[in-house]
Chain A
């Protein structure tokens, strides 16, 4: 009775073996943490979180450089984080001797934020650096951590007189 469908039985056997082989392979190959939280490898989150950081964060900077922090607190730059200007310094925070932050060129640095641009909000202090300083480094007059120029009483009264 089965003689006439012998070939089909053989074919079914081959297919069944293939399916079983696939299922066995699948059980062995799928990463263990797959499906831990959802349809993905749960371990991937840990791997992504494991990346070393580059920016230490201003809280950490201030634990040592409290003098600078105090100075900043007196001016508008209190909102600007240290690494916004000084660059990524997690290495320095970990071992201060290993990396000394480079001296910054204020002619370039300050202009990044304060160069006048019509798209910048009106409340934001901005100057056309060419007219304002004529290429002189900003820190000649301004102290970057506390940028407002302290005016002597006499010049202050002069300015008031102009008004």
Chain B
């Protein structure tokens, strides 16, 4: 395959090492971390307004977290050797810790929190459902049907504690992804102590926007009324985090422009040519400034509910697109220039190849499929939790408010 090169690249640099799949990876883990942080708002910071999205956010986080390692696996030259990361993790490698951070987050935080939160529902369903579903729910109960008031209260306390651990864990999961890039001293486009922080805030932005959109879509699909108080609150949080995220990114940019070190001329040229559309137009103008302005308008102007919903939907879509563009510009942009600062290469994305566009699209659809299954298995709707509960189970309902 012929790859157009401008100027001089070291001869081994012409081919890009990390493809669109590695763009997906931080995008997906970002959604996970962001969705989880939104969920914990309700639990830890007692923001009652966003309660309708609590369980949906948790399931969204789980659906995306299950998909997160797939682009990495598909990208590896030897996926069958990936377990070596658990067997002989290299302590000095930022990447080696990924396996452990991922497992910790999946097993100790997300699955546990969901399990504790849903346990009453699971036990009820293991007794009311039939066939294969009954078997699945029975396995999920781990063979214990204890849902006494005290046991549920213990679950609630434990769940609260896990959420407390979960917030720094979510930061770790994604901040650490930022560190994988930020710690590469050979690459001035990546090497920045701000990278993990920028990644965390952009993760929160994308996760909050995604859950907001999912909440709007699922509520509409179910023919229910959107809780506008909840939506207003989410949009408000989205705007605040976005402003912080944007400030951090601009700080990074300003520092680079003012310092203008040896790499600046090369990177500046790249931003003005190869990255102009994806960075300046899509990421900054359409994906950041526009949604912040739109969200700002809803705070200033007194808009009708209908208009607000539309503005939120538009801002949400632009935000998710903008954050995806940000991941693209970091991962792909960081490989387009030569480490000699004398030339540029081109990224040619395959179509139906292992690391091609088709795979990327499939990987982006997959979490929604998983989410659909999870929603079927563990309905997250507030109105669904009390259904199918017969007599003795109903008394457990007020437990949540006890804590």
Q: By the criterion CB–CB under 8 Å, are A4 and B87 in contact?
A: no
Nearest to B92 among chain A residues (CB) is A39
**Segment from B41-49, B146-154, B168-176, B362-370 that makes contact with A:** B146-154
Docked pose: A5 CA to B152 CA in angstroms? 9
Chain A residues positioned under 8 Å from B115 (CB to CB)? 11
Docked pose: A154 CA to B50 CA in angstroms? 105
B151 contact from A7, A14, A29, Cβ within 8 A? A7
Q: By the criterion CB–CB under 8 Å, are B119 and A30 in contact?
A: no
Chain B residues positioned under 8 Å from A10 (CB to CB)? 142-144
Q: By the criterion CB–CB under 8 Å, are B142 and A22 in contact?
A: no
Q: By the criterion CB–CB under 8 Å, are A8 and B88 in contact?
A: no
| Interface assignment of B141: CB less than 8 Å from any CB of chain A | yes
Chain A proximity mask over B89-126: 1 for CB below 8 Å, otherwise 0 = 01100000000000000010000100100010000000
Interface residue total, chain A, C-beta cutoff 8 A: 16
A19-38 interface (Cβ within 8 A of B): 22, 26, 29-30, 34
| Interface assignment of B86: CB less than 8 Å from any CB of chain A | yes
Chain B residues positioned under 8 Å from A4 (CB to CB)? 146, 148, 150-151, 154
| Interface assignment of A152: CB less than 8 Å from any CB of chain B | no
Chain A residues positioned under 8 Å from B107 (CB to CB)? 15
Chain A residues positioned under 8 Å from B148 (CB to CB)? 3-4
Q: By the criterion CB–CB under 8 Å, are A6 and B144 in contact?
A: yes
| Smallest beta-carbon distance A23→chain B, Å | 11
Chain B residues positioned under 8 Å from A39 (CB to CB)? 88, 90-91
| Smallest beta-carbon distance A88→chain B, Å | 22
| Smallest beta-carbon distance B321→chain A, Å | 39
| Interface assignment of B158: CB less than 8 Å from any CB of chain A | yes
A7-B119, A30-B87 known; A14+B154 contact, CB < 8 A: no
A3-B146, A14-B142 known; A8+B87 contact, CB < 8 A: no
Docked pose: A63 CA to B141 CA in angstroms? 80
Q: By the criterion CB–CB under 8 Å, are A22 and B86 in contact?
A: yes
Docked pose: A137 CA to B326 CA in angstroms? 60
B142 contact from A11, A26, A30, Cβ within 8 A? A11
Chain A proximity mask over B62-77: 1 for CB below 8 Å, otherwise 0 = 0000000000000000
B122-145 interface (Cβ within 8 A of A): 141-144
Interface residue total, chain B, C-beta cutoff 8 A: 20
- Most chain A CB within 10 A, of B142, B143, B150, B154, is at B142
* Dominant SS among interface residues on chain A: helix
B141 contact from A5, A7, A34, Cβ within 8 A? A7
Docked pose: A4 CA to B158 CA in angstroms? 13
Docked pose: A8 CA to B156 CA in angstroms? 12
Chain B residues positioned under 8 Å from A3 (CB to CB)? 146, 148
| Smallest beta-carbon distance B120→chain A, Å | 11
| Smallest beta-carbon distance A15→chain B, Å | 8
Nearest to B108 among chain A residues (CB) is A15
Chain A residues positioned under 8 Å from B88 (CB to CB)? 30, 34, 39
Docked pose: A22 CA to B112 CA in angstroms? 20
Q: By the criterion CB–CB under 8 Å, are A7 and B142 in contact?
A: yes
| Smallest beta-carbon distance B96→chain A, Å | 10
Docked pose: A39 CA to B143 CA in angstroms? 43
Nearest to B149 among chain A residues (CB) is A4
Q: By the criterion CB–CB under 8 Å, are B158 and A8 in contact?
A: yes
| Smallest beta-carbon distance A17→chain B, Å | 12
- Most chain B CB within 10 A, of A6, A7, A8, A39, is at A7
Q: By the criterion CB–CB under 8 Å, are B90 and A7 in contact?
A: no
- Most chain A CB within 10 A, of B91, B112, B146, is at B146
Q: By the criterion CB–CB under 8 Å, are A7 and B87 in contact?
A: no
Chain A residues positioned under 8 Å from B90 (CB to CB)? 39
Docked pose: A15 CA to B146 CA in angstroms? 19
Chain A residues positioned under 8 Å from B143 (CB to CB)? 10
Docked pose: A150 CA to B3 CA in angstroms? 52
Docked pose: A39 CA to B115 CA in angstroms? 38
Chain B residues positioned under 8 Å from A34 (CB to CB)? 88
Q: By the criterion CB–CB under 8 Å, are B86 and A6 in contact?
A: no
Nearest to A28 among chain B residues (CB) is B87
Docked pose: A8 CA to B86 CA in angstroms? 26
15 A-B pairs besides A7-B119, A7-B141 with CB distance below 8 A are A3-B148, A4-B146, A4-B148, A4-B151, A4-B154, A5-B151, A7-B144, A7-B146, A7-B151, A8-B154, A8-B158, A10-B144, A29-B83, A30-B87, A30-B88
Closest 5 pairs between A and B when the two form their complex, measured CB to CB? A7-B144, A4-B151, A10-B142, A4-B150, A6-B144
Offer 23 A-B interface pairs, CB within 8 angstroms, sorted by A: A3-B146, A4-B148, A4-B150, A4-B151, A4-B154, A5-B146, A5-B154, A6-B151, A7-B119, A7-B141, A7-B142, A7-B151, A8-B158, A10-B142, A10-B143, A10-B144, A11-B115, A14-B142, A22-B86, A26-B86, A29-B83, A29-B87, A39-B91
